[in-house]
A and B are shown apart, each in its own frame.
Chain A
């Protein structure tokens, strides 16, 4: 294990993406995103992604200095094509388009299709919350190997299909961010466990025969194992609708067999952005959030060293 200063890590990531062809601004944005994930404890979405990203770049499934574009705009409905740009660039731009539209009309629905892997979805929720907006983000994955088994199934049929819901907090620097995979853990956490030589907790994985296992290596041999969804049928149901909302409704495509097994990752993301001030008084909303947060977190913890949290902390 090494421990590295975040500014040094940022410099490394920036140099790598610059050397890989990105202009300085693009390299900075990607580095900001990856190191931001590391700083928040989401190591599965941090600099550990760089080796795969560079492989995808070399394979021609993502392009440096490529910009996405608005394909259509119909009232508050926007279709945004990522044009195989770095996902951190395309999804950021799509989110900025959604923020501008929500400020203008009160609500925006952005269908993002065809970007490279967009990274940590919470980043986009944080952008919306920082702009004083509420947002919902539903994500699916294609052009990669499926990693998650459906409830009652014995092999992987879709990916970790994350969901993010962001709400401006009563304190601007502490937005409420629900950001989670619909699998028990994200695939990156399996990679991290494998790299550390650690076993996973029971209930997270099944092996290539559909039997429960704690060995992360089950995801790296044939027949390949699968992650399970959280909360049994409930997590599965949420993963299922993510696939439909982000894959089918956004036009990005679902992980049907024809879109599996690629050596890259494509995300679809349905983003809904709402200006809360069009619904309720903003000061009242902040007071309400603060009061209810205080009430919930005042619940006496069952274990003294495990206080009640709110979805603003990594993995809360």
Chain B
């Protein structure tokens, strides 16, 4: 699992990603561009 995710990336479901980006914006961190 670890090697596979290091190689291919970490999957994040849409709702978790949305919640994460909203939370990040709350501390003035914009993360959309990094996705």
Contacts and interface: CB of A to CB of B under 8 A. Distances in A.
A40 B29 contact: no
Interface in B1-20: 1-2, 5-6, 8-17, 19-20
A258 interface: no
Contact of B8 (A3, A15, A46): A3
A46 B2 CA distance: 13
A8 B15 contact: no
Interface of B is mostly: helix
Nearest to B34: A8
Contacts of B19: 48, 51, 195
Nearest to A48: B16
A48 B9 CA distance: 16
Nearest to A54: B23
Contacts of A171: none
Given A1-B14, A2-B35, A51 B23 contact: yes
A12 interface: yes
Contacts, number: 95
Contacts of B1: 39-41, 313-314
B16 to A, nearest CB: 4
A70 to B, nearest CB: 32
A104 interface: no
Interface residues of A, number: 34
B10 A4 contact: yes
A38 B5 contact: yes
A281 interface: no
A19 interface: yes
Contact of A51 (B20, B29, B35): B20
B23 A50 contact: yes
Contacts of A4: 9-10, 12, 34-35
B23 A19 contact: no
Contacts of B6: 6, 39
Contacts of A19: 24, 27-29
A186 B19 CA distance: 19
A12 B31 contact: yes
Given A39-B2, A43-B12, A195-B15, 18 more contacts: A1-B12, A2-B17, A3-B10, A3-B11, A4-B34, A6-B10, A8-B34, A9-B10, A12-B20, A12-B31, A15-B29, A15-B31, A16-B24, A16-B27, A19-B27, A50-B20, A51-B22, A54-B26
Interface of A: 1-6, 8-9, 11-12, 15-16, 19-20, 35, 38-41, 43, 46-48, 50-51, 54-55, 191-192, 194-196, 313-314
